Amino acid sequence: MREVTSGIYQIRQKSTGRKYLGRTVDFVNRKCVHFAGLNSGKHHNPHLQNAWKKYGAEDFTFEILEIVAEKSYCQIREQWHLDNSVVWGFDFNTSKSSVSPTMTGMTHTPETKAKMSAAKLKMSPETKAKMSATNLGRTRTPETKAKISAANLGRKHTPETKAKMSATRLKMSPETKAKMSESAKMRKATPEARANMSATKLKMSPETKAKMSANRRKTPLETAARFVLVQENSGLSVQKFCEQNDVNYSYFNSWKYNQPAIRSLVERMKTGAE
């Protein structure tokens, strides 16, 4: 008798990187059902079916993303992958919900979110390693990158999302910040990236250039001192101060506002010496 394994899988198109993601209680059986439907031209997902018909079976592969020992957690883990792996408008999946296509755009209850979080914490090192290995070394073609860019064009974060992102940055440990800093230092821009940066700079309006120039003339010390003054008077948060004053949050938030030099500058500002 063969071993039956449950978990999360994807049917990936090799030439484009597009994928169809799903869950199953039996990988072997699920693969057979999918490929039988695709070969007969009767698969339930028309986007995947059309690509299969156009490019051929040899351009597709069935891959296991995560083995989930507890079958009741499969739906929760599928939702996590839908939220974090699928590129909507590019990949083959059409429903953003692991529950039902009719519930697209649903909001999870606190209980469901807690279960999803718990399931993530229970992942073994082996499962995490397999998930990492699945994407390791995978490069997207220029066409794929262009399609992903087009799918995300014009998408903006809501104020709530921005607030959550800011809160996440504030919670980062010094060790995490140090690792991110070291990782950024090791990155080198490709010739294409440099060309894009130069082109973007050329497209800047005179007003934008003036603002950037004015911000560069403000030293972090002066900026920190101004923040201390404003905070003492109004209790304004770091994020709000940065937004209102066009200040780079990343470097500004690293300053310690109780440094003697900053306190000295604050006192001089209060007395009108600055």
**All structural domains of the chain with their residue ranges:** 7-148, 171-270
> What pLDDT does 268 receive?
81
10-residue mean pLDDT series, the chain (274 residues)? 87 94 93 94 94 94 91 87 88 82 52 70 70 63 71 71 73 75 69 77 77 61 73 71 66 56 76 59
Classify domain 7-148 at the CATH class level: alpha beta
At 121 the pLDDT is: 66
- Tens of pLDDT, residue by residue over 209-251, are 777 666 555 556 677 777 777 777 777 776 676 777 666 665 5
CA distances from 77 to 10, 30, 175 (A): 13, 17, 29
| Residue entry with tokens 């198109």 | 13
Q: What is the pLDDT of residue 102?
A: 40
> Residue 116: what pLDDT?
66
- Give the per-residue pLDDT at 215: 59
CA distances from 64 to 74, 171, 173 (A): 13, 33, 33
- Which positions ≥6 away from 224 have C-beta within 8 Å? 252, 255, 257, 259, 262
The b/e string for 53-76 (b: 16+ C-beta within 10 A; e otherwise) is eeeeeeebebebbbbbeeeebbbb
Mutual angle of helices 220-234 and 260-270, in 10-degree steps:
60
